[in-house]
Amino acid sequence: MPATKNKRNEQCSIECIFGKMLKKLEVPVEFDLPCWLKKWKPTQYINIKRNVYLTKRRIEDDGIFCLCNPLLEASTVCDGDCHCGMLFSTCSSSCKCGNKCVNKSFQHRAMKKVKVVKTEKCGFGVVADEDIKQGDFVMEYVGEVIDDKTCEERLWKMKHRGDTNFYLCEVNHDMVIDATYKGNRSRFINHSCEPNTEMQKWRVDGETRVGIFTLRNIRRGEELTYDYKFVQFGADQVCYCGSLSCRQMLGNKPRSSNHVALHKRKTDLQNCIGELVRVWRSQDKRYYGGFISDFSNYSGKHTIIYEDEKVDILDLSIEDWDFL
């Protein structure tokens, strides 16, 4: 009982205090959140330094060897005229140039100083925290390496969750780097139609990896951008890069005419141009993504354009397709 009485007295005292405060406030007072509560935080992810393989790692011998002379008086070798570098291959451990070799950016992880910032229209972005010269290695694009099947499954889950930010980089067939859950600051680099960096595929000790290199000199405080160059399926997305050569819309339509399906399917849905669909291919036992590009009022059929260039349209037998 005494404990209950004390609790009631405590509650009464708190109510009395708030009552007195309200009487003193003759007019409503606007209150603002403290600065520490308003500070933004980047999307949560696990920071990693190297790719995490969720599929079989592919190591291939490219047969490229360094031919540079380590006996030269120059302080550095294996630079722009290096046989390996010209073929987008880093020098391996067999390189005889030792510490003079500068063609091991991926192995040494010599990242440039950058920081993540909040942009006005494009969410988070990355700006240089130091001057960076043209042709320099900025950082590696890393994440979870997955196959096409896993990529498709993840895209479906993102679709159902209503996610709008994607961090997928297709490297080769059945090899996609997904920085959604694990990655580094490169995942925040925004698109630009007039970029100052570019993605390059390099062979590092037989492994294919992706690096971000500068296209021109970049001053400290300048935002880093690259051209996503992805194929946009479905509705167009407005580009906010603001460059003089801005294409206004994000993404490119399929380049090759062999993407166009010669097989058309009849449907009662006429107002679905631009919608994403998936088509089942029985011989591969998998779905292929595409989008509806046209509708013929005469035949009552839709034309579907496919994302995968390897799909043989003439042999494609459409048993079923549905909207993504």
User: What percent of the chain lies above the pLDDT cut of 70?
Assistant: 63
Residues 187-205 have pLDDT tens digits of 999 999 899 999 999 999 9
For the segment 21-33, the average pLDDT, to the nearest whole number, is 57
Strand spans (E) along the chain: 46-47, 52-53, 114-118, 124-128, 137-141, 144-146, 168-172, 175-178, 182-183, 190-191, 197-204, 207-214, 223-226, 237-238, 249-250, 265-266, 276-281, 286-296, 301-306, 318-323
For the segment 207-217, the average pLDDT, to the nearest whole number, is 94
Look up tokens 């492994």; give the residue.
207
Residue 86 has pLDDT above 80, yes or no: yes
Distance between start and end Cα atoms, the chain: 63
Highest mean pLDDT among 95-99, 226-230, 283-287: 95-99
Residue 170 domain-assigned? yes
Mean pLDDT of the chain: 75
The least confident of 34-43, 63-72, 258-267, 280-289 is 258-267
Q: How far is CA 194 from CA 190, 197, 217, 248, in A?
A: 11, 9, 14, 12
For the segment 16-23, the average pLDDT, to the nearest whole number, is 60
Residue 134 has pLDDT above 70, yes or no: yes
Residue 42 has pLDDT above 80, yes or no: no
For the segment 38-59, the average pLDDT, to the nearest whole number, is 81
Same domain, 129 and 194: yes
Residue 97 domain-assigned? yes
User: 184 lies in which domain range?
Assistant: 46-226
Q: Number of structural domains, the chain?
A: 2
Helix (H/G/I), strand (E/B), else coil: 203: strand
Local confidence band at 65 (pLDDT 50, 70, 90 cut-offs):
confident
For the segment 88-96, the average pLDDT, to the nearest whole number, is 87
For the segment 285-314, the average pLDDT, to the nearest whole number, is 61
Residue 66 domain-assigned? yes
Residue finishing a domain among 196, 226, 256: 226
The residue among 33 and 74 whose pLDDT is bigger is 74
Res 152: pLDDT: 87
Same domain, 207 and 299: no
Same domain, 309 and 199: no
Residue 214 domain-assigned? yes
Res 285: pLDDT: 62
Residue 120 domain-assigned? yes
Same domain, 292 and 219: no
Same domain, 209 and 286: no
Res 44: pLDDT: 80
The least confident of 33-37, 109-113, 315-319 is 315-319
182 with 176: CB under 8 angstroms? no
Residue 249 domain-assigned? no
Residue 324 has pLDDT above 70, yes or no: no
**DSSP class of 56:** P
Q: Which of 143, 136, 218 is nearest to 188 (CA)?
A: 143
Same domain, 53 and 136: yes
Same domain, 310 and 213: no
Same domain, 285 and 176: no
The residue among 264 and 63 whose pLDDT is bigger is 63
Residue finishing a domain among 226, 255, 288: 226
For the segment 245-260, the average pLDDT, to the nearest whole number, is 58
List beta partners, residue 306.
Answer: 290
Local confidence band at 251 (pLDDT 50, 70, 90 cut-offs):
low
Q: Which of 237, 296, 226 is nearest to 261 (CA)?
A: 296
The residue among 141 and 267 whose pLDDT is bigger is 141
Same domain, 51 and 124: yes
Number of Cβ within a 10 Å radius of residue 300: 13
Same domain, 214 and 153: yes
The residue among 162 and 221 whose pLDDT is bigger is 221
CATH number at residue 314: 2.30.30
Antiparallel, parallel or unpaired: β 223-226 and 190-191: parallel
The residue among 301 and 257 whose pLDDT is bigger is 301
For the segment 131-137, the average pLDDT, to the nearest whole number, is 94
Same domain, 222 and 290: no
CATH number at residue 58: 2.170.270.10
Same domain, 180 and 302: no
Residue finishing a domain among 160, 191, 226: 226
For the segment 116-142, the average pLDDT, to the nearest whole number, is 93
User: What percent of the chain lies above the pLDDT cut of 90?
Assistant: 28
Residue 245 domain-assigned? no
Residue 251 domain-assigned? no
Residue 262 has pLDDT above 50, yes or no: no
Local confidence band at 33 (pLDDT 50, 70, 90 cut-offs):
low
